[in-house]
Amino acid sequence: MPRQFPKVTLSEAEKKAQLLAEKAYASALKEEVNKDALSMFTVPEDCPIGLQQAKDHELLKELAEQQSEESVKRRKSLRLIRSKSLSLQIPGNIDYPDSRTVTPSVSTSSTFSSVAENCPDFQRVTISGDYCAGVTVEDYEQAARSLFKALLLREKYSKLAYHRFSRTTSQFLRSAENMRWDVEDEVLPDACPCPAEDEDPYSMDNIPENLNYELKMKDGIVYVYNSAEALRKEQPNDLPYPDLETFAIDLSHVLAMIADGPTKTYCHRRLNFLSSKFHLHEMLNEMAELKELKSVPHRDFYNVRKVDTHIHAAACMSQKHLLTFIQERYKFDKDRVVLEKDGQEMTLQEVFHSLSMDAYDLTVDSLDVHAGRQTFHRFDKFNSKYNPMGASELREIFLKTDNYINGEYFARIIKEVAVDLEESKYQHAEPRLSIYGCSPDEWDTLAKWFIHHKVHSPNMRWMIQVPRI
């Protein structure tokens, strides 16, 4: 297969940055391994002497820059760039009736007037100055170059994955490169429309035909072939993807930016500035926002649409709901065969007896499926919370789509959650299921589970995730 990206020739400065990134990454890995080791000579990061020396160094550096002619020229150029960026700002409420029509340019006066007309009369604070960065001009330029490069990489890989990239950001990037932004260059995801209210969501009509593509994985990359004959002749489709060398170079840029001191300082100061600015806006305009909120008819917290995203399907129910469901199934289906373990079929009652448990003695606390503070940054503890009472057998029976009973219990409890959402009318959820890549039949098995048990709900939108394991 031909190379998808032109070969990149690194300059001496870029090679040094790549080497620095590799060293910083290796150092970070070493710190991760040894972070729990105790040392009697360890100095805390907030050492007063070190902080004072760093402040003195930054002050001397800034004074030296203020006295140089080069610094004055840089400040003037930054002031000019900042004034140009203000003229490029486009209000977020502009409608684009045709996504394939080039949007006309908007003048500065019309932009600000339209914003003033559509925004409430809030008190505003303006911060003036040369570049309002809080760091030296040299560090500001270095941080700006690093962040600009990171945004270009983000845009490139978003387009390769057919992910939506911010139109406003893309316009600013083209402007910085002295290029014209065109709506034809925008990449949009190929989304399938959701079923209408009077449409059967399980209908097989008008589904895409089988194109008989063949797949084969090589070195962690899936190659797509038009037919079995093309697979035999090793003639894959020429699809765009970054080769290993390109990806390694792009990764080195990101690692170098992470390890770069001026960039970290600028980003930290910028985030603190934005946070303080928001708190100041809250303090000045809290009553005005509350007044505007109350003036909206027929809308409050209970009848405004709320969406829960990143909800694992196995955790979409509450602890009490799961406990009640388990006890209810035990009451009516305790003699039903629900599990095959070591070649032996087991009923629900036998499963509880093997675990030395009684379903009627269970409580929310003994169920132990609540992810508390102790699971933060601990994926092992977080994953164990999916096992009710720490028993993987109960997870296999109640929270799996592919098991001895074909995921019947799991489908039932999800449909009960969906009924609650539909009754509330204004609540929606985005549950997600996993494809682990362990078997070629995983997609077919998951689709059969979804259609057979009729799990569709208008208040749910499903997400399929591929975990990095």
Cα(408)–Cα(397) distance, integer angstroms: 9
Cα(90)–Cα(228) distance, integer angstroms: 51
Which residues on neighbouring strands pair with residue 331, listed in sequence order?
A: none
Q: Are 326 and 362 in contact (CB under 8 A)?
A: yes
**Looking at this protein, which amino acid is placed at residue 196?**
A
Phi, psi of 93 (to 5 degrees): -95, 15
Q: pLDDT at residue 139 above 90?
A: no
Q: Are 369 and 388 in contact (CB under 8 A)?
A: yes
Could you give all domains of the chain from N- to C-terminal order, each with its CATH number? 1-25+66-90+106-113+127-193+245-295 (no CATH), 302-465 (4.10.800.20)
Rounded alpha-carbon distances, angstroms, from residue 351 to 148, 337, 354: 58, 10, 5
Q: Are 238 and 6 in contact (CB under 8 A)?
A: no
Task: Kindly report, residue by residue over 291-322, the tens digit of the pLDDT.
Answer: 888 888 888 888 888 998 888 898 899 989 99
Q: pLDDT at residue 343 above 80?
A: yes
Q: Please give the average per-residue pLDDT across 393-403, as a whole number.
A: 91
Task: Kindly report, residue by residue over 84-105, the tens digit of the pLDDT.
Answer: 555 544 444 444 444 443 333 3
Q: Concatenated DSSP letters for 401-432?
A: SSSTTTTHHHHHHHHHHHHHHHHHSSEEEEEE
**197: which 2 tokens?**
């209210």
Cα(7)–Cα(26) distance, integer angstroms: 26
Q: pLDDT at residue 405 above 90?
A: yes
Q: Are 131 and 273 in contact (CB under 8 A)?
A: no
Q: Please give the average per-residue pLDDT across 21-42, as a whole number.
A: 54
Question: Is 128 or 152 the better-scoring residue by pLDDT?
Answer: 152
Nearest 5°: the CA angle 204, 208, 209 is 100
Q: Over the chain, what is the mean pLDDT? A: 78
Task: Kindly report, residue by residue over 416-462, the tens digit of the pLDDT.
Answer: 999 999 998 899 999 999 988 788 788 899 999 999 999 999 999 99
The model's confidence at residue 58, banded by pLDDT at 50, 70 and 90, is low
Question: Is 324 or 375 the better-scoring residue by pLDDT?
Answer: 324
Alpha helices by DSSP H, 45-107: 48-66, 69-87
Q: Are 364 and 291 in contact (CB under 8 A)?
A: no
